[in-house]
Amino acid sequence: MSYDLVVIGGGPAGYVGALRAAQLGKKVACVEWERAGGTCLNWGCIPTKALLKSAEFYHQMHRAEEFGFKIGKIEFDFEKIMLRSRGVSDQMAKGIEYLFRSKKVDYFVGRGQVTSDKKVVVTAADGSKQTLETKHILLATGCTPKTLPGLKPDGKKIFSSREILAIREKPESIIILGAGAIGIEFAHFLHAFGTKVTIVEMMPRILPVEDEEVSDLLGKIFVKNGIEVLTNTKVEKTEITPKGVKITTSPAAEGGKAGTFEASTLLVAIGVQANTEGLFGPGVAPTLDRGFLTVNDRYQTSIPGVYAAGDIIGPPWLAHVASYEAIEAVEGLYVPGRTPHKVTIFPGCTYCSPQVASIGLTEKKAKEKGLKYKIGKFPYKASGRAVAVGEPEGFVKLIVGEPHGEILGAHIIGSEATELIAELGLAITLEATLDEIHSTIHSHPTLSEMIAEAVLAARGGALHI
């Protein structure tokens, strides 16, 4: 079998790159060892959003009286909630498999290995092998969760973000190591259904990459809701006990906590590592940097003709960045005269409640860079739409460069933050000025009006606060 492009990896970089190349008329194969859609679709972004929807739903139902309702006993079926989430993943994965067929991408289920710059060997689960000849290769095998010594995920007491999506019973209690987006989303989800949650984070704040004000507010809300949050705290020792897990902590900085904490389960959410094991045959050794593939401006690895995109080329390990890189790599390869873009700015989202979304610099980063800036802030509680729908918690915060008024960063915590951030992404791409955003009429009553108000705040005064 002979191809223009063989893609190894069927996640947001791999399948998107394969589809784009097929759209451009190329003969393409996509090799995936598990299921089309990769981690994102099967064990990440998509199934967690289904779970978080159920959490939101459950929380909402408890507010029924406020909106004029009386309802009987509310019971949840944890297994059903988990199974719905699996069903959503299954439906989306089938969708990708359908796209492969309709766009004529050959889909191989097996482990792909690059044996030369023109050859990929696919080993199926039964050990049978196929060799694919190809003009080019795109590597998009992604990452897997990092583990800790002595805490190998067993799917019973110890989980990574993957195994925990396969549980069918609600854990009685859980210790979550790492307060990034993944840790925070699982903390929110499990707490919503009554699991006792303890979060342990070495950094001073949960969601440490977010703006300090956003992280602070979310931290306060989590604590108020009854989640135990240990920041500035590191894990010294972990033990598996008959009942579950026991950890011993010490302060990583002032405010950290020394103590022992026990729970029936533990989730390790401390980052990811590159999936390169077995990816290269003898003599094939592209340059790596801390385990990740190094690529040039055209997404080419150190081996000519072999490209890479997505998590495998390093942070930020986000599905939307991965897809974007894959499209750029493929268009750079096949569209004459096309210079691929590299990713410089991208949004990040956490789908807890309230939602968190951001793009660009935090205030702290702007300060560290010595940039001149001003702040435009607007609270949800002053938005008519937020009050009408009963979601008055949160704020929009813009970091605005001086003297030109460009958006350096945007930070939103509150209802629908993950959708609202899109406008600010476009504003940054197009280098919109404050005046241009203000002179864009925002619908009333919407949450997006808060963006226009935050612009006014940065210009000297919002109207509605």
CA atoms within 13 A on the CB side of 203: 14
Lookup result for tokens 């978080």? 52
x/- letters, 156..195, toward its own copies (CB under 8 A) = ----------------------------------------
Instruction: Exactly one of 59, 341, 404, 444 is catalytic; name it.
Output: 444
Judged by beta carbon, residue 78 or residue 280, the one nearer its own copies is: 78
* Segment interacting with its own copies, rule: CB under 8 A, options 61-69, 108-116, 132-140, 363-371: 61-69
Residue pair 57/189 in contact by the 8 Å Cβ criterion? no
Question: Which residues, 287 to 326, sit near its own copies by CB under 8 A?
Answer: 318-321, 323-324
191 is catalytic: no
DSSP 377-403: EEEGGG-HHHHHTT---EEEEEEEETT
Judged by beta carbon, residue 255 or residue 390, the one nearer its own copies is: 390
Q: Is residue 7 within the footprint of its own copies (CB under 8 A)?
A: no
Question: Which residues, 441 to 460, sit near its own copies by CB under 8 A?
Answer: 441-449, 451, 460
Q: Which one of residues 27, 34, 49, 204 is an interface residue with its own copies (CB under 8 A)?
A: 49
Judged by beta carbon, residue 248 or residue 439, the one nearer its own copies is: 439
Q: Which pair of structure tokens corresponds to residue 89?
A: 């993943």
Q: Is residue 423 within the footprint of its own copies (CB under 8 A)?
A: yes
Q: Is residue 50 within the footprint of its own copies (CB under 8 A)?
A: yes
Q: How many residues bind its own copies (CB under 8 A)?
A: 95
x/- letters, 15..44, toward its own copies (CB under 8 A) = -x--xx--x----------------xx---
> 329: closest CA among 1, 14, 105, 3?
14
Judged by beta carbon, residue 116 or residue 446, the one nearer its own copies is: 446
Minimum CB–partner distance for residue 136 and its own copies (Å)? 19
Widest CA span of the chain, in angstroms? 69
For 331-422, strand residue ranges (E) read 347-350, 356-360, 373-379, 394-401, 407-414
DSSP 146-193: ---TT----SSSEE-TTGGGG--S--SEEEEE--SHHHHHHHHHHHHT
> 13: closest CA among 301, 281, 405, 308?
308
Catalytic (active-site) positions: 444
